Amino acid sequence: MARKLPAAEDQSRAPGFSRRNFLKTAGVGAAASTVVGVGGACTKEPTVIGPDATTLRLRVNGTTQTVTVEPRVTLLNALRNELDLTGAKEVCNRGACGGCTVLLDGDPIKACMMLAADAEGHEITTVEGLGSPDEMSPLQKAFVEADALQCGFCTPGFVVSGTALLAKNPDPTLDEIKDGLAGNLCRCGTYSRIFEAVQKTARRG
Amino acid sequence: MKKKRSGVLRPEGPDKLRGLARYVDDLPFPGGLHGATLRSTVPRGRIRAIRFDPDFPWDECVTATAADIPGQNCVALIEEDQPLLADGEVRHAMEPIVLVAHAERHRVYEALGHIHVEYEPLEPVLSMEDALEAKVPVRAPDNVIKRISIDKGDVDGALAGADVVVEGEYRVPHQEQAYIENQGMTARFEEDGTLLVEGSLQCPYYVQKALVRAFALPKEKVRVVQATTGGGFGGKEEYPSMVAGHAALLARKAGRPVKIVYDRTEDMVATTKRHPARVRHRTGLTREGKLVAQDIDVLMDGGAYATLSPVVLSRGALHATGPYECPNVRVRACMVATNTPPNGAFRGFGAPQTLFAAELHWERIAGALKKDALRLRRLNLVREGSETATGQVLHESVGARDVLEAVVRRGRYSEKKREYARWNRSRRHPSWRGIGVSVCHHGAGFTGSGEAFLASRVALALTRKGEIRVLTSSTEIGQGTIAAFTGLAARTLGVPEEWVTIERADTGLVPDSGPTVASRTCMIVGGLVERAAQRLRERILESTGRMPSTRAEMVREARRLCGREPALRVEEQYTHPPEIRWDEETYRGDAYPVYGYGATVVDLEVDRTTFEVRVRRLTTAVDVGRALSPRLVEGQVMGGVTQALGYALLENADYHDGVMQNPQLTNYLIPTALDTPPLDVMIVQRPYSRGPLGAKGVGELPMDIPAPAVAAAVHDATGLLLTELPILPERILEAFSSDPAHRQR
Ligand code: FES
Ligand code: FES
């Protein structure tokens, strides 16, 4: 772990803020966890990855894909830059907006907050993997019908979070919907329409 | 652009839902470099030296400074005072100085850390009051960017004769647009020397104008294309010219494409925001509550450069009276320069600031006259035939009273007022409850003779394939331009919507329809689409006798009509109705072709322990003329009022030393799902004879209305009149502790 991690993609110089430090720490923490955590339970022998690019096998939208990335690369950047799955967006890059939400074994996670290496051995679903190639999922359709989007930049994150919510709770109350979507930001203010789309989908079963 | 499918309001919707729509950072970018910007760390100073660490492998990078700009070093807009890269002097923190590009994104940020700028610090001016005092001159001659005066009648005489005079001062802070997609732009030079930029933007022809100047290129050699854009709200009206200029400068030096995409922090600290403002009112009334004089002083902080500030001030001044009739009015408005990052366009464009003051001032007046603020508004609201402060007579489509009565009824204003008075008497309740109302107007389209000056153009083309293409530089930024124009063209032509496509906003393909701002897209540009569609329909009818009803028939007729051309094209240009007159010198005349009107009732509660404000319901009514698509209008209203709730209650841009201290979505809080109350929206139709099918603009109006109603409702609940936004729990606490009369409540 002695190797200095590359500088994060950030240049914040506003007094009092340094995401560089934040990501460095996060990066070290996450890398440390990969040492014991890759592939599941604690093993006796630590797995060592890096410092150079590593080849990872990621299960994405039902197929296995191979990517070769440096250990510092987040799942979000691996999906976007290596696999050209650009539905998940980089907005805040620090877990504050939900624009990068994908499913990890069915749970919604913020792909900017996880290293690609840590996603090995898990089933990843991105917005592109919802529905089938010719047909949108019921929730995606409901978004379109309810006009639950404006600029659409936050929309992939919302529809992924909403999908996870309905999978766990097929008949959510309005408060449960709000809770389930509380980690996603929409500046266009489409929230009410999104609630409507989720409720409609729930009612249709 | 996408084909329209049935059951789909927005043709572009399905791709956005599937994650297939490509925003600028999603576009394939083979062989390109990533660019980044080194910014000033002091609010004001001379640049003594720029040093590049000798140990750093600079041969891997491309760098650029002001010396590399081939044309004029400015971001051309209204004035030419803002440099593309600081040269010799910096006038605000976060001002761009050096650009760097590298093939790997993380390396470019590393490189920035190896550039050192030495400054000779100069004394900065950081507040608008200091700027006005002009002890330290930071902008010649007196730190003033623009002054505006509006005069009607005899204000001093009327104030002297008034039964009561009520004074008040109101303040609003910066507000960050916080579009969810950060600023981003790609640039490359093509083999024939054409500069091609593509990115996230609202106004392709603004970017073109800026690049023509900075790169000393003819217009035809600068092509600007809008990528799918993740929100703008005004924030992508001016700043994209800066980002595009930077990307182009690096691309020119590198001989390769360059992409610059900001991260959230950079976007928040460096780009434009809503102007902070201080507004003072001195209002004379009769005992009954009829307005006799409004004396209003507006001060706004433009930041270091002019950007669009003169126009923002103009709109602010023109809305400062609120939608009321008053025989004697004086408005003195002033935009000063400070050493802070320039402020600029944001939905509402100066009006939310002055309308907050105008509307909340009724609470003070009501207190002074011991009358209900609602009754007082009813007494003074504009109606058809009213004359505004600039002497404009409102001839038609004045829905001010309709929207007010609609929300008062639907929001049960009067019943709740009584009910909450009872509720607040009981100390057992965990909260105080309150209800507040406001009513606003918003001028649709450009101010004054702006539209005449723009002379916008739109074209419609019937292709040989029987497809109708709408060619306009109006951009889709979430507000539904594509859906609205598709519907308008199809309805006017009498063809199915599936036959209509909207061309992408690309200066190489579409004529200049003016910028996508000022709630003008639907009313002005939509009007041109409608007229072009009528003409195209006439052409088709002349030749065929009736409108083709099947696609096959349309294709046949289209081939005949096109002859040897690829398409039959009709173009329309805006002509200003001669009876709309405006004098820019005296600020007299028809300030806007027409106004939209909106009213809101806010029902909220304030926690007695934590002072947190929870909005229980927001009831809004708008008069936007005829609603071309009620669903789109409702969506715009929901979005606008949500941003306004953030403005009123959450968004607290914290400035120290001329820099925003909380440039993250974790500490600059915008409304989430949990902050969204039930939103009740009513559309009151008061068609406007010159709008397309009777429509007026809708985009900005909803941003104006809620903030003063929130403050009025907090007043109703707690007895405290908080005259400064945002109304944070700590501000309520502070107001309680400094007001002994209220400690008992
Ligand atoms: S980009 Fe991942 S949460 Fe914002
Ligand atoms: S639709 Fe624009 S941010 Fe949500």
pLDDT digits (tens, 9 = 90+) for B540-563: 999 888 999 999 999 999 999 999
User: In degrees rounded to 5, what are phi and psi of residue A129?
Assistant: -90, 0
Q: Which atom of ligand 1 is nearest to the CA of A112?
A: 2
User: Residue A50 above 80 pLDDT?
Assistant: no
Nearest CA in chain B to A87: B19
Residue window 613-642, chain B: list those with CB within 8 Å of chain A: 631-632, 635, 638-642
Q: Does A80 touch chain B (CB under 8 A)?
A: yes
Which positions in chain A touch B43 (Cβ < 8 Å)?
none
| Intrachain domains B31-122+183-261 and B277-447+586-742 with the same fold | no
CA distance B582 to B584: 6
**Domain positions in chain B:** 31-122+183-261, 277-447+586-742, 456-573
Is the pLDDT at B38 greater than 70? The verdict is: yes
- The span from the first CA to the last CA of chain B, in angstroms, equals 60
Residue-level pLDDT at B685: 95
The answer to whether A14 contacts chain B (CB < 8 Å) is yes
Taking the centre of ligand 1 as the mean of its atom positions, its distance from the CA of residue A100, in whole angstroms, is 5
In this prediction, residue B739 carries a pLDDT of 77
The residue length of chain A stands at 205
Instruction: Name the more confident of A15 and B150.
Output: B150
Query: What's the B180 CA to ligand 2 centre distance in angstroms?
Result: 7
Closest approach of A28 to chain B, Cα-based (Å): 17
Average pLDDT over residues B475-486: 94
By Cβ distance, the residue of B17, B478, B678 closest to A143 is B17
Query: Looking at chain B from residue 237 to 296, which residues have their Cβ under 8 Å from any Cβ of chain A?
Result: 263-266, 269
Q: How big, in percent rounded to 5, are the helix, strand and coil portions of chain A?
A: 40, 15, 45
Q: Does B456-573 carry CATH code 3.30.365.10? A: yes
* Cα–Cα distance for residue pair B303/B33, rounded to 1 Å: 32
Interface test with A, best of B5, B6, B16, B679 (most A CBs within 10 A): B16
* Residue numbers in A near B699 (CB within 8 A): none
B584 pLDDT more than 50: yes
Query: Are B271 and B183 in contact, with CB atoms under 8 Å apart?
Result: yes
**What pLDDT does residue B286 have?**
98
Q: Give, as one character, the DSSP assignment of residue B71.
A: S
For ligand 1, mutation pick of A10, A74, A110 (most atoms within 8 Å of CB): A110
Which has more confidence, A160 or A13?
A160
Cα A10 to ligand 1 centroid, rounded to whole Å: 14
The verdict on a CB contact (< 8 Å) between A190 and B663 is no
Q: How far apart are CA B647 and CA B352, in angstroms?
A: 10
Which amino acid is it at B64?
Answer: A
Q: Is A70 helix (H, G, I), strand (E, B) or coil?
A: coil
C-alpha span between B440 and A159 (Å, rounded)? 35
Contact residues, chain A, for B96 at CB < 8 Å: none
Laid out side by side, the sheet with B184-189 consists of B62-64, B96-102, B33-39, B258-261, B184-189, B195-199, B222-226
pLDDT at A45: 75
CA dihedral B71, B72, B74, B75 (to 10 degrees): -50
Proximal ligand: closest to the CA of B180: 2
Rg value, chain B, Cα: 26
Nearest-CB residue to B674 (from A151, A153, A178)? A178
Average pLDDT (B682-703) is 94
Structure-block tokens of residue B324: 């009321």
pLDDT (mean) for B392-407: 98
As a residue count, chain B comes to 745
Q: Distance (Å, rounded) from C-alpha A19 to C-alpha A113?
A: 13
B56 touches chain A (CB under 8 A): no
Chain B, nearest residue to A130 by Cα = B18
3-class SS of residue B510: coil
Cα–Cα nearest to B122, from B24, B42, B182: B42
How many other CB atoms sit within 10 Å of the CB of residue A134?
5
Query: From ligand 1's centre to the CA of A94, what distance in Å?
Result: 5
End-to-end CA distance of chain A: 50
- Give me the pLDDT at residue A68, please: 96
Is B277-447+586-742 assigned to CATH 3.30.2320.20? no
Q: Provide, rounded to the nearest whole percent, the portion of chain B with pLDDT above 70.
A: 98
What is the distance in A from the centroid of ligand 1 to the CA of A76?
9
Cross-chain residue pair B265–A7, CB shorter than 8 Å: no
Question: If we measure between CA atoms, which residue out of B458, B461, B451 comes closest to residue B511?
Answer: B458
CB B265 within 8 A of CB B40: no
Contact residues of ligand 1, CB 6 A cut-off: A 90-93, 95-100, 110, 112
Q: B31-122+183-261 sits in which CATH class?
A: alpha beta
Compute how many other C-beta atoms are within 10 angstroms of the C-beta atom of residue A183.
17
Query: Which residues 438-497 of B have a C-beta within 8 angstroms of A?
Result: 477-480
How much is the average pLDDT of A163-189? 98
What is the pLDDT, as a whole number, of residue A6?
Answer: 35
Q: How far lies B446's CA from each of A7, B44, B320, B520, B587, in Å?
A: 46, 34, 17, 7, 14
Interface check for A174 against chain B (CB to CB < 8 A): the answer is no
Q: Which residues pair with B36 in a beta bridge?
A: B100
Ligand nearest to the CA of A109: 1
The residue ranking higher by pLDDT, A4 or B265, is B265
Ligand nearest to the CA of B17: 2
- Identity at B39, one-letter amino acid code: R
Q: What are the tens digits of pLDDT across the range B112-166? A: 999 999 999 999 999 999 999 999 999 999 999 999 999 999 999 999 999 999 9
Instruction: Supply the pTM of this predicted model.
Output: 0.93
Place A29 in a pLDDT band, splitting at 50, 70 and 90: very low
Antiparallel, parallel or unpaired: β B96-102 and B62-64:
antiparallel
What element of type H or E holds A107?
strand A107-110
Taking CB atoms and an 8 Å cutoff, what residues of chain A touch B230? 89, 151-154
| Whether A90 contacts B662, CB under 8 Å | no
Q: For residue B10, list chain A residues with Cβ-Cβ distance below 8 A.
A: 144, 147, 149
The mean of the pLDDT values for chain B is 96
Residue-wise pLDDT tens digits, B206-232: 999 999 999 999 999 999 999 999 999
The count of other CB atoms within 10 Å of the CB of residue B51 is: 11
Nearest CA to B688 out of B398, B369, B324 is that of B398
Tell me if A96 and B674 make a contact (CB, 8 A cut-off).
no
Atom of ligand 1 nearest to the CA of A98: 3
> Is residue A15 scored above 50 in pLDDT?
no
Tens digits of residue pLDDT in B725-743: 999 999 999 999 887 665 4
Q: Are the C-beta atoms of residues B690 and B594 closer than 8 Å to each other?
A: yes
Nearest to B83 by CA among B305, B312, B344: B305
B128-137, B271-280, B617-626, B691-700: least confidently modelled range: B691-700
Q: Pick one of 3.30.70.2080, 3.40.640.10, 3.40.50.300, 3.10.20.30 as the CATH number of A52-129.
A: 3.10.20.30
Q: Residue B352: which H helix or E strand, with range?
A: helix B351-369
**B502 has a chain A CB within 8 A of its CB:** no
Structure tokens at B624: 């936007």
Radius of gyration of chain A (CA): 18
Q: At what angle do helices A155-168 and A191-204 cross, to 10 degrees?
A: 40
Partner-chain contact A152 B228, CB within 8 Å? yes
pLDDT of residue B273: 98
Q: Are the beta carbons of A7 and B106 separated by less than 8 Å?
A: yes
Mean per-residue pLDDT for A60-78? 96
Beta-carbon neighbour count of residue A33 at 10 Å?
13
Nearest chain A CA: its distance from B9 CA (Å): 7
C-alpha angle B64-B91-B244 in degrees, rounded to nearest 5:
40
Question: Measured between alpha carbons, how far is B321 from B155 in angstroms, rounded to an integer?
Answer: 13
Listed residue (B538, B574, B573) closest to B462, CA to CA: B538
Q: Do B41 and A13 touch (CB under 8 A)?
A: yes
Find the residue in A nearest to B112 (Cα).
A11
DSSP-assigned letters across all residues of B31-42: T-EEEEEEE-SS
Q: Identity (one letter) of the amino acid at A32?
A: A
Specify the amino acid at residue B697: G
Question: Is the pLDDT score of A1 beyond 70?
Answer: no
Nearest CA to ligand 2 atom 4: A186
Beta carbon pairs, A and B, within 8 Å = 213
ipTM reported for the complex, 2 dp: 0.96
Percent share of chain A, pLDDT over 70: 78
The residues spanned by each domain of chain A are: 52-129, 138-204
- Ligand 1 probe mutation, A112, A126, A155, A187, most atoms within 8 A of CB: A112
Q: How far apart are CA B482 and CA B2, in angstroms?
A: 10
Residue B604 has pLDDT above 50, yes or no: yes
* Type of residue at B644: A
Q: Are B728 and B652 in contact (CB under 8 A)?
A: yes
pLDDT at A9: 38
Quick one: pLDDT at residue A134? 87
**From B38, B635, B656, residue closest to A147, measured CB to CB:** B635
Query: Which of A15, A84, A86 is closest, CB to CB, to B661?
Result: A15
CATH of the structural domain A138-204, one choice from 2.30.30.40, 1.20.1510.10, 1.10.150.120, 2.40.10.10: 1.10.150.120
Q: Which residues contact B6 (CB under 8 A, 6 or more apart)?
A: B498
Residue partners of A167: CB distance under 8 A and separation at least 6: A106
- B497 in Cβ contact with B487 (< 8 Å): yes
Span from the CA of A97 to the centroid of ligand 1 (angstroms):
5
The pLDDT confidence band at residue B183, using thresholds 50, 70 and 90, is very high
Predicted pLDDT of residue A137 = 98
B705 to B64, B73, B402, B596: CA distances (angstroms): 45, 40, 15, 12
Percentage of residues of chain A with pLDDT beyond 90: 71
Would you say residue A11 has pLDDT above 50? no
Q: Are strands B144-152 and B329-336 parallel, antiparallel or unpaired?
A: antiparallel
Per-residue model confidence (pLDDT) at position B6: 55
**Number of other CB atoms surrounding residue B338 within 10 Å:** 30
Whether residue B30 lies within 8 A of chain A, CB to CB, comes out as no
The set of residues, in sequence order, having a beta carbon less than 8 Å from that of B545 and lying 6+ positions away, is none
The Cα-based distances of B185 to A203, B21, B264, B266 in angstroms read 42, 16, 15, 14
Mean pLDDT to the nearest integer, A173-198: 98
pLDDT at A28 over 50: no
What is the mean predicted confidence (pLDDT) over A156-168? 98
At B646, is the pLDDT very low, low, confident or very high (cuts 50, 70, 90)?
A: very high
Distance A201 CA to ligand 1 centre (A): 26
- Alpha-carbon separation of residue B530 from B81, B540, B685 (angstroms): 39, 15, 19
- Structure token digits, residue B433: 């409850």
* Contact between B232 and B155 (Cβ < 8 Å): no
User: Which residues have any ligand 2 atom within 6 Å of their CB?
Assistant: A 149-155, 186-188, 190; B 180, 231, 478
C-beta atoms of B676 and A178 within 8 A: yes
pLDDT at res. A46 = 75
Lowest mean pLDDT among A44-53, B420-429, B510-519: A44-53
